[in-house]
Amino acid sequence: MSPEAVIHIISQAFWTTVLLCAPLLLIGFAVGIVVNIIQIATSLQDSAFSTIPRLAAFLFGFLLLLPWMLKQISAYSISIFADLGRYAR
């Protein structure tokens, strides 16, 4: 297998990872900003107040995006396994 093929496989893996993680990170970022603005406005500095909404948003986002995430990781896995014979050379 050529070095270009290895670089292509690794870049596909990284890109798939970015696609899978980015929506959840954006949800966490948005909820964190909203919670921090509420904390600043109310002068409430409780760590549980900032943690619980983020965890709930991550869980809701994960459950909502799970079918799409499974489709993406399945497509990547199928593309890797489809070219397995070519990679073995």
pLDDT of residue 89 exceeding 80: no
- Give tens-digit pLDDT for 5-24: 889 889 999 999 999 999 99
Q: How many CB atoms are located within 10 Å of the residue 3 CB?
A: 7
- Give tens-digit pLDDT for 55-70: 999 999 999 999 999 9
- 74 lies in which domain range? 3-88
The three state secondary structure string of 23-38 is: HHHHHHHHHHHHHHHH
Q: Tokens 């869980």 map to which residue?
A: 59
- Give tens-digit pLDDT for 30-58: 999 999 899 889 888 887 788 899 999 99
Check residues 38 and 87 and name the one with the higher pLDDT: 38
Provide the number of structural domains found in the chain. Answer: 1
CA-based Rg of the chain, rounded to a whole angstrom? 19
pLDDT of residue 85 exceeding 90: no
CA distance 79 to 83: 6
